[in-house]
Homo-oligomer: A and B are copies of this chain.
Amino acid sequence: MVCTIEISEKPKLNDPILIEGLPGIGFVANIAALHLISELKAKRFAEIVSASFQDFAVTTEKGGARSPMNELYYYQRDDGGRDLIIWYGNTQALTTFGQYELVGKVLDIAQELGCRFVISIGGFKKDEVQPVPAIYSAATDQETMKEALNLGTKIMVGHVFGIAGLLIGLGKLRDMKGFALLVETLGMYPDANAARYALTALSKYLNLNVDLSKLDATVEQTKKILESFGLIRNIAEEKKKEEQQMRWFI
């Protein structure tokens, strides 16, 4: 049961875009994805469990048990725009091997649903961040890069670690197009401001109205989930370790 996927529904989607939102640096993607799901009332259609996730359960306040898990949601637009597949979860895979497998599985599903475009979100760790954080991007091709730059992003220089990087790289190998949105962040705690700017750029690209007034509630919810999984504590503790050790917290 290396990587198990339970698909509860196969939605018919209009040229859908896959948006990645797993926990990583500053939890920018994680907050943004959860907010999209809440605001758009996106519907969950797939659950993914990997043997490369952590082997524990966490409990909720009422004693409920929760496992490390990834989920896929879909959102069908009624304005003729492209539909969305939102990839949300409470963890990335713990090993390089598991990361490749996870991305591979998600891309398999997405492609089966007609997806040819991917957007990964992430934090770009900086020691200092301006109130209006810069957004960096990397893309599968020049044309898509131009579209990303039109959103006001800068060219990303360097490595894009973890799922955010893999998704773009492996998508490209499958002849998909797409770009990464990497928002400056101090990276230690769920960064509401970075998520806000990620969502703003994303909404602009998708030509989608996303209400950001309840974003703080989403951040609180993300904090609670991440704390229960020990992720926030870990990040603070591992602050001093070398970056490559934290490799999956993009």
Contacts and interface: CB of A to CB of B under 8 A. Distances in A.
Interface of A: 1-2, 4, 6, 47, 49-59, 61-69, 94, 96-97, 99-101, 104-105, 137-142, 145, 148-149, 155-163, 165-166, 168-170, 172-173, 180, 230, 247-248
A58 B158 contact: yes
Contact of A145 (B63, B100, B138): B63
A57 B1 contact: no
Given A155-B59, A172-B67, A96 B96 contact: no
Closest 5 CB pairs of A and B: A67-B169, A1-B104, A51-B100, A57-B165, A57-B169
A57 B173 contact: no
22 contacts: A1-B105, A2-B97, A47-B173, A51-B104, A52-B97, A55-B96, A55-B165, A55-B247, A56-B159, A56-B160, A57-B169, A58-B160, A59-B160, A62-B155, A63-B148, A63-B149, A64-B139, A65-B160, A65-B168, A67-B165, A67-B173, A159-B230
Given A57-B160, A59-B157, A66 B1 contact: no
Nearest to A166: B55
A123 to B, nearest CB: 14
B57 A155 contact: no
Given A55-B162, A56-B166, A62-B155, 5 more contacts: A1-B104, A55-B100, A58-B159, A65-B169, A67-B166
Highest count of chain B CB atoms <10 Å: which of A56, A142, A158, A159: A56
What is the interface of chain A mostly: helix, strand, loop, or mixed?
mixed
B155 A1 contact: no
Contacts of A165: 55-57, 65, 67
B55 A99 contact: yes
B97 A51 contact: yes
A203 B145 CA distance: 41
Nearest to A100: B51
A96 to B, nearest CB: 5
Nearest to A99: B55
Contact of A57 (B50, B149, B168): B168
Nearest to A93: B55
A77 to B, nearest CB: 27
A100 B62 contact: no
